[in-house]
Structure 1
């Protein structure tokens, strides 16, 4: 049995047991090498959402590089008796050699959009299901929530501050997904290191409580970081704190942060107080359980930026994008393609390989998601844009989708996609998807 060492940290066991047991059974039946096409899509958007956002593509591809069963993984599977020796031999030599196409990271999607297509033998593609879905479902949910928050904020920046409200590794992924959807910085240092994201942060309430007085705490922070720092002013009395902050840091005080109370009313009063004290350039940052609706209400207030945590890293109440990974085509014993589909009540799928385009009206505004089954869709003369891009060809990951640069490109793709959508995409009220999905 060949047992080459896996990559530094294998992702191969970030999966469900039935992926491996299906491979064992398929090897036994002789169907494991049938060429298959799997597609990832969601049947519906969360209630009221007008569009979703594809995110996590770069993370998924990085994980694919490490999706190998090394000695440690094979030995554990053998000890547990999860699969037989033949299957262990197959897994020990596993390297994905197929093709993957998908919507570019940052692209918006609609119900039934085939956001990812995996083409490979059944065994190769089957093993990826759980890993692919776990990454895309999490990151797309976060990015979809972040996009709505960014839209509500308009020109005011949103920063991600949710690390303490989720799993430690989800926090890193959430910061990345938020950056794809328009957030400008994160408090998470690992996300900054790994993805090249700008990081922010100064002090919490505990720092103020540590000192004998608020004045002493502010003075210590200004001494350490200069007057351009951000001072948290709601530990005790907000307005007294603003006066102390202005007195200690002077007119060069960078910002004050409000984290409790009626933020709309407070922001107006704090702005007036700062201006009266000569701190006309001092900014106001607000946090405290913000979501897109709270941000929209704060648009009337003199706020400069928003710190968003819990509601972001939990997907705005929808922590999954509800994506599924379905077999839509396979070959028969003669190598001919056969369309296949699930036909269960409420969970039906559509067989055949999908070819998506986005169509535009004469003004250049997106008007529909056109999906051809088995061939390119009918366009009826409309202007269209291809939505699928190559991610993996012949087992080789396309390098432009990896690294810190891919986050910047995804953020630009997202901004460009939003700019194409009808104005209804910006509405926060419940409504149907902003584009219809039309099959042909």
Structure 2
């Protein structure tokens, strides 16, 4: 039988009624002749509750016990989904990560999947099981301990299973009905995309779009897993959702396909740093060691052997960055006059694989922002994206203006 992977996020399994609704979708695919692997998240809000219990119990907790606790939410969902399917006379059973087993690294709370042996589940399919309901987000370390994959890890679990089992497709059910040209809550002209290339989706995920976890898109691109993002709250149809696929599957699209934004950004500037070989390593090495996720980096022109170094990071990592830079200064690794943090900024980006072969995107973007009176603080580019850092109060205005300027409401 061909295999299909279906993943249901927390909002899609938030209560027994929604689990029953999801089970009906699974039943349809079983009737279509598929062996189905269902990946489930914990019920909406459950993981946050479990994390809160851990923090309330122990300030400096054992990461191994943290994983044992926070992974339990998925076990409950998997068991309830299997029971619901059994009540519908569909042969189903639940699987925890260690039973598959989903083999991971030993990095607790952010482990990476290393291997998913298919023998155990395939053996059960051979015995008549039609649905394997697998607890997402969790795995097994080489030491035999439960691990978790980090927030959004169930998406990664689903794509990894699709790759391991050679699934025909991986359907990600969530609370949105696909990938849009921008956030519909900001731009009422936002349009749902029928298809989007892996590379574009990867950029959008890394730029703040919450639809898919970045690592899941990386895996899908590497193993050519066809992903479909669709809503569990709408009736299924052949045209439902957005297909994330190879660039070759998309005949024509707009030069820019989407405008993304990240609200919680901070701009940090080291003022008057010695401009010498190795200074960048001396700055960004300690930031990396401190777990600061640096994104945009700009170095000013050097004057009299001194320069300014600007970078962006999430607002919740500002204190960590300040501490790391102060420690580096105290140890003599770097010498700077001051560190200035601006936590009132946002990142706005335009993304599209068509930018590889078309000119003028940057010029249009900068002209539109200028016309709206939006000052650009930092600019970074890649082959298929342009990102700018601007004052947060102008973020929604910028997103709307760029969406209109590139006519994203029109299909390519």
**TM category, shorter:** under 0.3
Normalising by structure 1, report the TM-score: 0.24
| Higher strand fraction (1 or 2) | 2
Q: Which has the larger radius of gyration?
A: 1
Task: Give TM-score scaled by structure 2 length.
Answer: 0.25
